[in-house]
Structure 1
Amino acid sequence: MDIVTLLLSAVLFGGMTFFSFGFAPVLFKQLPVAQVRPLLRGTFSYYYLVIIVLSALCTAAAFLNSGIAAALLAVICLSTVYARQILMPQINAATDRDDEAAFKWLHGLSVLIQLVQLGLAGWALVLLGS
Structure 2
Amino acid sequence: MLEFALLVTALMFGGTTLYSFGFAAFVFTALPAETAGPLIRRAFPYFYLFVLATSAVAAILLIARDPISSASMGVIAVTTVFARQVLMPAINAATDSGDKSRFKRLHTLSVVITLAHIGCAAFVIIRLAGQS
Match of 1:77 in 2: 77
- Please, which runs of 5 or more residues in structure 1 have no aligned partner? none
Match of 2:53 in 1: 53
Match of 1:86 in 2: 86
Match of 1:102 in 2: 102
Match of 1:36 in 2: 36
In the TM superposition, residue 37 of structure 1 has moved relative to its aligned partner by 0.4
1:13 aligns with 2:1: no
Instruction: For 2:66 and 2:32, locate their aligned partners in 1 and report how far apart those are by CA, in whole Å.
Output: 45
Root-mean-square deviation (CA), in Å?
0.7
The answer as to whether partners of 1:52 and 1:81 remain within 8 angstroms in 2 is: yes
Name segments (4+ residues, structure 1) moved above 4 Å: none
In the TM superposition, residue 128 of structure 1 has moved relative to its aligned partner by 1.1
* Number of aligned positions between the proteins: 130
Deviation track 1:76-118 (CA, whole Å, cap 9, x = no partner) reads 0000000000000100000110000000000000001111111
- Please, which runs of 5 or more residues in structure 2 have no aligned partner? none
| TM-score where L is the length of structure 1 | 0.97
Deviation track 1:42-87 (CA, whole Å, cap 9, x = no partner) reads 0001110111111100100112221111111011000000000000
Match of 1:120 in 2: 120
Instruction: For 1:117 and 1:5, locate their aligned partners in 2 and report how far apart those are by CA, in whole Å.
Output: 16
In the TM superposition, residue 11 of structure 1 has moved relative to its aligned partner by 0.3
Which residue identity lines up with residue 26 of structure 2 in the other structure?
V
The answer as to whether partners of 1:62 and 1:128 remain within 8 angstroms in 2 is: no
Instruction: For 1:20 and 1:44, locate their aligned partners in 2 and report how far apart those are by CA, in whole Å.
Output: 10
Q: Percent identity?
A: 43
| TM-score where L is the length of structure 2 | 0.96
In the TM superposition, residue 4 of structure 1 has moved relative to its aligned partner by 0.6
